[in-house]
A and B are shown apart, each in its own frame.
Chain A
């Protein structure tokens, strides 16, 4: 890839991280965190986005980031205080910034109206006068960005009638423009007297002179008259002054540019030969007869200075300056314009040599440093390094590589299990070396598996941190006061699971605020605080991750839920249900308690959708509720999608696996509970409810004759769609974790089979697709359940 393009790709990647950092900082600020480091971090994120955008010339992005950054800078400097209102605006601005980044990345456009509105809102945060001072007015919001590019727009009045314009000699103008200082101009005389500060900042006179020499032939003379006798010489002081004569065809600006880094740390005058030095010029005698350099040299010659001795004394042995360099000549040294960056050391001029000597003396002086600052710095460094914010070193790895590794470890687990089983079958004693070694291998294999899974694991924080904004928006929309409390943000779970957590959590939170919490008035009347609390928590429990959404609202209105369920034909009017069962009715398809399907939690779907999407992840969801005190939704999910908890069953001499997350219960059917419909399709009555009884061996085509129900085991399963069925199998072998192997990737899709796995004895076992089995049975026998139940 073009290196520039590759850096651009890096930029957008980095932008994503910066935007995430920015948002979590802003969310913390929204919670009232006005710690300067938090504000700084947000500022830095926006600043870095702008900096990168500047490098790639992404004007729109720069323009918006600049305004945003300016407001944050005001906050950083304490001129703008953090309030709820300010935090809200900043959060919205972060959205707009994200839109701009996305637009810059895709090359698409942004919502111009939204941007303009947002800029106005940001500007409104700042005092009018201050905004003007910062150049943040609407008219010139883009000016600072232009300034960053170092160009100034030039107004051209092309419409001006020619007659009004004065006669212009275009040729002369052009000549002047291209060569504002005609060659006939007198020679420049530059006097340059560094101050001690200049050297303290690691600037070197020799390098400045080298810059000058790039402009043309220069004539340098040194005034060393100020150098005191050696015993009075201070290594930290500056004593030298240079006079440089330079051809007059250069502009003063060109010359001054060479002094850009040092101009505040030296006395500098740039005058034309024959002109008097201005007031700021160094107090150096420049004769009107224009022999400035000669006078300087005379002064130098007059000084009692033994440079050889000085050099010998101050020069550390490692210093690069040639020890046998010619002693300084009183004649002005001439240098040719430098062709290359570095002057030829053999022809090093006097000025360079002196500068080196001066630098050497500085270096030498460093042997006896001031001790205090050093200690300070070290302490600071250690303190900061030990702080919890210290970044853990990380590497970026392609997800593909991790997945390959996970796959390989899956194979390893299977091989290990097979090996164990074979050794066990061979009748080797458990205390034999081989068996003991195998035990170690098993432990090691588990450890490797856990470690590899941990690579894909990420904290749920990335999902959680999006929620405070959602809660605020929903609360505003329904006019409720809500406090969101989050726990366990650092709980880790597989990346794939994380990505799919967002929707269910969003839905549950919306539901909790919209349906769970009361209005402020109701709460007050009920003796509760006006502000409702919603708690979002993540924790590990029994090898799964549990996400809880709890509110302290009104709880489930059981009579009403029951009434709705009856009205909608979901349960029989006289059905006997426990409180728990009533609460869980809200997960039934088509159940919605909201009188009006609201925009917020409704979107036309109910909790059944949440339940389905969680089941699709191999998860379960349940609710506990206490009238008047609130409800708690708990969803439990596997930590990874690469491994499945399964029930191993046998049907028609085949070993099959049913995902545990689908299984409700298992039972031995009694012959009198099983009824045939239409001669072939069976239903089974489980506690007054009829569900289809599916003979798995027949459904998958392993045999034609159905198993007599009483001689098998019925496993009651529930599909993602909420449909129930009983799977008839011959026996249950046990429960275990299996590594999922895609059937499509290795063979082809088979209806009723979700995937495959390899068991410890090396046999392939198919993992049942419960959804497909249940749906098929329902298609064959439509609405049996209801007909029978009703």
Chain B
């Protein structure tokens, strides 16, 4: 069965972009628009990999990481954060919170799929 990737991003553009690249690479994609919805969707549907943005309303990416890592059912789910090269401190904070890896924006589909392969069996 295809792996399921949960993408959490408040930007519709970014969600569509991720969706296009991931679907083309053969993943099943589910989406959420902020951290709170992300955790809800993860609990309801489960996912093999979570890709999350950092800056989001209601609950940001750090909240997502903490929430996933504190959830016994999903704490072993790999989480990739979307960062930019200039966001070094954010990347570190995300790592410290328990992010599995990161994807530097702007990304191309190859970069994206590479990152997922590195964290998902």
Contacts and interface: CB of A to CB of B under 8 A. Distances in A.
A389 B105 contact: no
Interface in B95-121: 95, 98-102, 104-106, 117-121
Contacts of B106: 51, 54-55, 57, 148-149
Given A51-B105, A366-B72, A150 B85 contact: yes
B36 interface: yes
Contacts of A506: none
Interface residues of B, number: 47
A202 B63 contact: no
B118 A359 contact: no
A43 interface: yes
Nearest to A52: B13
6 contacts: A10-B12, A54-B106, A55-B105, A148-B105, A202-B76, A204-B119
B10 A48 contact: yes
A204 B17 CA distance: 27
A274 interface: no
Contacts of A54: 84, 105-106
B55 A44 contact: yes
A41 B58 CA distance: 10
Nearest to B92: A264
A253 B17 CA distance: 29
Q: Which 3 A-B pairs have the closest CB atoms?
A: A369-B72, A373-B70, A261-B101
Contacts of A309: none
A13 B13 CA distance: 9
A126 to B, nearest CB: 15
Interface string A183-215: 000000000000000001111101110010000
B100 A201 contact: yes
Nearest to A381: B36
A203 B100 contact: yes
Contact of A44 (B10, B79, B101, B102): B10
B46 interface: no
Which has the most chain B C-beta neighbours within 10 Å: A10, A370, A381? A381
Interface in A414-460: none
B14 A55 contact: yes
A52 B11 contact: yes
B57 to A, nearest CB: 7
A380 B63 contact: yes
Contacts of B117: 207, 211, 341
Interface of B: 10-14, 16-17, 20, 33, 36, 39-40, 55-59, 63, 66-67, 69-73, 75-79, 84-86, 95, 98-102, 104-106, 117-121
A260 B100 CA distance: 10
A374 interface: yes
Given A10-B13, A261-B119, A374-B71, A203 B86 contact: no
B76 A362 contact: yes
B85 A384 contact: no
A672 B64 CA distance: 85
Contacts of B76: 202, 359, 362-363, 366
A377 interface: yes
Interface of A: 3-4, 6-7, 10-11, 13-14, 40-41, 43-44, 47-48, 51-52, 54-55, 57, 144, 147-150, 200-204, 206-208, 211, 258, 260-261, 264, 341-342, 359, 362-363, 366-367, 369-370, 373-374, 376-377, 380-381, 384-385, 387, 389-391
B6 to A, nearest CB: 14
Nearest to A44: B55
Contacts of B105: 51, 54-55, 148
Contact of A14 (B11, B78, B95): B11
A201 B85 CA distance: 21
B100 A389 contact: no
Given A13-B12, A52-B13, A261-B100, 5 more contacts: A43-B55, A148-B106, A202-B100, A207-B117, A363-B76
B95 to A, nearest CB: 7
A57 B10 CA distance: 20
Given A7-B20, A148-B85, A51 B11 contact: yes
Contacts of A7: 13, 16-17, 20
A384 B12 contact: no
B121 A342 contact: yes
Contacts of A202: 75-79, 98, 100, 119
Contact of B86 (A147, A207, A363, A380): A147
A3 B117 CA distance: 24
A201 B75 CA distance: 8
Given A51-B14, A55-B106, A366-B76, A260 B101 contact: yes
B70 to A, nearest CB: 4
B62 to A, nearest CB: 12
B72 A367 contact: yes
Nearest to B97: A201
A261 B118 contact: yes
Nearest to B108: A55
B39 A377 contact: yes
B36 A385 contact: yes
Contacts of B11: 14, 48, 51-52
Contacts of B13: 7, 10-11, 14, 48, 51-52, 55
A416 B63 CA distance: 55
B65 to A, nearest CB: 9
A260 B101 CA distance: 8
A201 B39 contact: no
B54 to A, nearest CB: 9
A201 B98 CA distance: 5
B100 A41 contact: no
Nearest to A135: B86
Given A7-B20, A260-B101, A377-B67, A203 B95 contact: no
A369 B70 CA distance: 8
B118 A147 contact: no
A359 B66 CA distance: 20
Q: Which of B20, B84, B95, B105 has the most CB of A within 10 A?
A: B84
Contacts of B55: 40, 43-44, 47-48
Contacts of B67: 377, 381
A150 B104 contact: yes
